[in-house]
Structure 1
Amino acid sequence: MTRNSNLPPNFLSDHMAKFSGEAYIEGWAGLWNNKGEDERLPWDRGCHSAALEDVLQEKKELVGEAFLTEVPHKSNCRKRALVPGCGTGYDVLLLASFGYDTYGLDYSHVAIETAKKEAAKNADQYAMRDPGVGRGKVVFVQGDFFKDEWLEKLGLGQNSFDLIYDYTFFCALQPYLRPAWALRHRQLLTPPPVGNLICLEWPTTKDPTLRGPPYAAPSHAYLEHLTHPGEETRYQCDGKIEIDPSRKPNDMALERVLHWKPGRTYEIGKDGKTGEVLDRLSIWRRRN
């Protein structure tokens, strides 16, 4: 992972502590607005996700092809993929190289312009993987994930995305926003058998008492929120989720169809001493 070594260790937490409630999103935009020309922000890994690449290559029996082969009358249509909080956009380019029409969404206008420059610079690196499939289009759009204006700008509605990839987005949000995060994914995903939400879960082992972002994101946090979209999940004073074994998934619940440890991931997703992978991958679908 590459990051600017001049930034103090608690720079991100100290900066975002100044923003709360609806102003929180402005804190992220401010980081982009004040970024130096050659500076890399703390969450920018400098490359696409190897874990996502492996999913696209090795889990086709679950995520399918880049075309809507599951829907006979749309089998010649490309699937749409979304990367919310796309930042510099490496994963957007990766998905497009596999044939998906891919949309990178970010609240920051500067992030979107940066992503467009990276796309032009890295066009050769992210050429089509398979000439028989071709390369999907790349669209970067500025907007608030939780609102519909960016969808309207694209001429799309809810339930429009066949694949959504979530990484360093769940953990970037203050925990009180997680019920809305889960509900929004439910609203944006196409129904079965097509729509898949892929989460690269990080940081899975962070002490929940420590400040964020990133906030602690253990696997059970994804499970609790995605099986109860829009519903409050109780957090204890120590930051841990209060798990109620009798709690049933609600009517908007997503179903976790696969959960595993990836073979490859970023160095920050590994134990610094042993090299063991600490990240987890999960694939989710709407129940109906």
Structure 2
Amino acid sequence: MSEDPDVVSRRIARESLDRDDPTGWFENLYAAAAGGSAVIPWDRGTAHQLLTEWVQESAPDGADKTALIVGAGTGWDAELIADRGYDTTAFDISPTAIETAVRNHPGSKVHYRVADLLAPPPDWPRAFDLVVEIYTVQALPIALQPEAVKHVTEFVAPGGTLLVIAAARPDDQPDDAVEGPPWPLTRATIQSFAGADLRLIQLSQSPSPADPTVLRWRAEYLRD
């Protein structure tokens, strides 16, 4: 394709948002990509760099533990976590994304399923020892982000870890000045994942390799 994938994805998103359907554009984009008329801008063909670095630094042992990947996409992040021994569930609101993930990873140990972050299965709260959220909250309009953050934090089991990776934006940038998607997260939004028993234990910012002017958060939280 000659057209910028980000431009295409934003156009598809805008069509959905104009219909007051803030999440329908995910399926529309993945379906267009499956048909060859679009490219998934965030599909790297490998796990996210910051997730890979976290795994290398933390060396988590997933034996007898569960993990949840929020926004499975085409499955690369989930496969990395499953390789660490976690009983891994990965979900996406897009059926085509899940179909693509299953096709990309034949024989995978990951439990891929279609689910909605804003209306998750009732048995998921406090059910996972590791929860990984990469770029999903920021793909939602700012008005929906608090609800999405709440659901993400609810998935973390006692003693469990939450890892959040997101694009960063300045706290002084007004919401209406952000033309998404994505709608990058402010420091205040990153801090809002923390709660009474979910503590922020590590927070860092780093530039994107593709564009050093774009900063990314990597935040780790621990549930007491």
Query: TM-score when scaled to structure 1?
Result: 0.67
Structure 2: give runs of 5+ residues left out of the alignment.
none
Match of residue 23, structure 2, among 13, 25, 34: 25
For 1:172, the aligned partner's letter is: A
Q: What are the Cα deviations for residues 92-119 of structure 1, in whole angstroms up to 9, with x where unaligned?
A: 1111111111111011111100000111
Kindly tell me: are residues 79 and 22 of structure 1, through their superposed partners in 2, closer, same or farther at Cα, counting changes over 3 Å?
farther
Partner of 1:108: 94
Kindly tell me: are residues 157 and 168 of structure 1, through their superposed partners in 2, closer, same or farther at Cα, counting changes over 3 Å?
closer
For 2:119, the aligned partner's letter is: K
Secondary structure class of the residue paired with 1:280: strand
Partner of 1:199: 164
More helix by share: 2
CA drift at 1:254 = 3.1
Match of residue 199, structure 2, among 255, 263, 267: 255
Structure showing greater radius of gyration is 1
State the number of aligned residues: 219
Partner of 1:119: 105
CA drift at 1:50 = 2.3
The within-5 A match list for 1:24-173 is 24-38=22-36, 39-60=38-59, 64-67=60-63, 78-120=64-106, 137-149=109-121, 156-173=123-140
Partner of 2:209: 267
* Structural RMSD (CA): 2.8
For 1:267, the aligned partner's letter is: P
Query: TM-score when scaled to structure 2?
Result: 0.84
Percentage of identical aligned residues: 24
Secondary structure class of the residue paired with 2:139: coil
Partner of 1:241: none
Query: Residues of 2 paired with 1:137 and 1:53: CA distance?
Result: 19
Query: Residues of 2 paired with 1:11 and 1:164: CA distance?
Result: 30
Query: Residues of 1 paired with 2:20 and 2:129: CA distance?
Result: 29
More strand by share: 2
Kindly tell me: are residues 266 and 141 of structure 1, through their superposed partners in 2, closer, same or farther at Cα, counting changes over 3 Å?
farther
CA drift at 1:199 = 1.0
